[in-house]
Amino acid sequence: MFTKAITKKPCRALIDGITTSMFGEGTPDYDAAIRQHDEYVATLRELGLEVTDLEGDERYPDSCFVEDPAVVMAECAVITNPATDSRNGEKHEIIKTIKQFYADDQIFFIEAPGTMEGGDVMLVDKHFYVGLSDRTNEEGAKQFADIVGKFGYEVTTVPVTEGLHLKDFVIYLENNNMLVSAVMNEKEAFKDFNRFVVDADELYAINSMNINGTVLVPMGHPKTQKIIEDLGYPVKVMDTNEFRKIDGSLTCLSLRF
Ligand code: CIR
């Protein structure tokens, strides 16, 4: 069960967020992004989480995507080392909030030349799957494995070849169920899971998010929504369209623990 989340409001500089346009074209609208973010925070609260919603930070256009500068779990928090210049400083900000929830000896760091972003980190029980991507390198994954290994977690690395982060292409829904892209469906690492392949025209909906049994699904993906509903999960449809324009999806907007 998740009891807490950290979120951060979008800033006006969001329009300068990094994008590959892999999921959508255009420039985010700040006011619409604020409304969508407010709804996201309200939904987490409705689902029982105590949410610390931080103020926007104009120095970092992508800083609402708090999932990337830290990875949190019951025993510890890992401050990552975001790979891009415009995002790297986010780690110095998020640690201030992490320190409200974790003691100094529970906080660890990925150090250069290691890079990592939380969007590449997926937890299944006591097993982390870490995407090797443009944002997370082998050295980052190795440092992460050394840190979390002390707490009994296993780590398996998975190459990310289709776009930004691992969790854009595979997500764990609990109960051994996973949403996967056709590419992730072929990975040995995921062979023992019940895998549900999401159609290419709905790839963005792979990044759905199970919060204490309810699955948040991005608006406009009826086939994926049906897969999730047919599995028996209550679904809450979320509008994330402004974040989607800069490669942002549901999990990236929070740290959950
Ligand atoms: C970036 O390129 O870093 C942002 N525009 C999007 C980050 C999305 N993060 C995530 O999925 N964890």
Query: Who lines ligand 1 at CB under 6 A?
Result: 17-19, 62, 65, 67-68, 87, 118-119, 164-165, 246-249, 252
The per-residue pLDDT for 159 is 98
The per-residue pLDDT for 32 is 98
d(CA 60, CA 37): 17
In this prediction, the residues of the chain whose per-residue pLDDT falls under 50 are: none
Domain range for 81 is 4-256
The per-residue pLDDT for 173 is 98
Report pLDDT digits (tens) over 179-198: 999 999 999 999 999 999 99
- Looking at ligand 1, which residue's alpha carbon is closest to its atom 1? 18
Report pLDDT digits (tens) over 40-52: 999 999 999 999 9
Mutate to test the pocket of ligand 1, among 18, 164, 245 (most ligand atoms within 8 A of CB): 164
Report pLDDT digits (tens) over 14-23: 999 999 988 9
Report pLDDT digits (tens) over 142-174: 999 999 999 999 999 999 999 999 999 999 999
The per-residue pLDDT for 22 is 87
Residue-by-residue DSSP string for 150-218: TTT-EEEEEE--SSS-GGGTEEEEETTEEEE-HHHHT-GGGTTSEEEEPPGGGGGGG--EEETTEEEEE
Q: How many domains, in total, are found in the chain? A: 1
- Looking at ligand 1, which residue's alpha carbon is closest to its atom 8? 248
The per-residue pLDDT for 25 is 85
Q: What's the pTM? A: 0.98
CA of 61 to the centre of ligand 1 (A): 11
d(CA 204, CA 202): 5
The per-residue pLDDT for 189 is 98
Mean pLDDT of the residues in the chain: 98
Kindly state the DSSP code that residue 222 receives in the 8-state scheme.
Answer: H
Mutate to test the pocket of ligand 1, among 204, 246, 256 (most ligand atoms within 8 A of CB): 246
* 37 belongs to the catalytic site: no
11, 76, 165, 221: the catalytic one is 165
Q: Could you tell me the CATH number of the domain that includes residue 206?
A: 3.75.10.10
